[in-house]
Amino acid sequence: MKTKTRTVPIQLGDRSYPILIGRNLLNDASLWRQAGEGSVAAIVSNTTIAPLYASALEASIRALFTHVIRIELPDGEQHKNFSSLNQIFDSLLSAQADRGSVLFALGGGVIGDMTGFAASTYMRGVQFVQVPTTLLAQVDSSVGGKTAVNHPLGKNMIGTFYQPQLVVADLDTLNTLPQREVSAGLAEVVKYGPIMDSKFLDWLEVNMDALLARDTEALAYAVQRSIELKAQVVSSDERESGVRAILNFGHTFGHAIESGLGYGVWLHGEAVGCGMVMALHLSHRLGLVSEDYVRRVTSLIARAGLPTKGPDLPPERYLELMRLDKKSERGQLRFVVVEENAQASVRGAPDELVADVVAKCCE
């Protein structure tokens, strides 16, 4: 059965752009005219994704550009660094890419973040298009214009806000994902229930098995609804000066897990899933949610195939790493916490309480 192409607009004035969700979009040459045209098109991907999908994308965009090049980076979060970024710049300069060039980010969140960062800084800014091929990237990282590379002292600490020209989420690319990557992507789907939409949380409880089985209609709705919810937030707070911070539910704990273990040991979504469990416990300790609610959402996270117990790092190490989080203010740790009516906020919490929550979630 053919899944209709769905469009979700991101409303940002003259930086507005559409997000297209559907099947067989990589091969639909007609839709790629929305990406623009020019001198050089650079398809930035990695050694895992490029052999699967780069040829289809190149065939669809070739008529729009004088020259199409491919840039294949090593795969993995551990390569989201300045060495990989310079590989992009070296290739663009060697191809004599000018300001009329367009970069295409073909891959997951790592590729999307680095390609966006490269586009925002190459010749002080060229256009780019997000072509996310993982569930996590389709529902989260490709939407909203955050770009970054990692630093040894902190995840995503060096980056820009820079919006793409277009986002194309081809659901067929999810067919080649390892099951672990599907679960990792579901972390960024699940988060929208507790922070924004209780009915979506109910829907996820009913449809989690279908999502894990990659049912096309279930995935299409989950991707669309996640993007719609994120679009509401991004359109009102593009640069995360206020409400957009709630999208980081579980991320403060999760980034500490990623940094503490070493990038790539746990997938980003796995760390976020466990981080949401920690944030739920913190919300309970702050009197915002009941134990039953903590158990309910934790059960859903576990059903998604995500870890609910943290790695055995000392609580003091968690605190040290979390002080590098972008939401910290003057050394005060701040966390996204939730209430049972699908409301979220950013609040401070004493170190002793946070350490106690971490210890409980790592037992």
- Residues identified as active-site: 124, 146, 188, 230, 240, 244, 248, 251, 255, 268
Burial 22-42 (b: 16+ CB within 10 A, else e): bbebbebeebbeebbebebbb
Tokens 């955050």 identify what position?
146
How far is C-alpha 75 from the geometric centre of its chain's CA atoms? 16
Residue 153 CB burial class (10 angstroms; 0-12, 13-18, ≥19): exposed
d(Cα 49, Cα 253) in Å, to the nearest integer? 29
Structure tokens at 335: 């966390």
Phi then psi for 65, rounded to 5 degrees? -135, 150
List, in sequence order, every beta strand (DSSP E) within the chain: 6-10, 17-22, 38-46, 65-73, 102-107, 127-132, 146-151, 154-161, 166-170, 334-339, 343-348
Q: What share of the chain is helix, strand, coil (3-state, %, to 5)?
A: 50, 20, 25
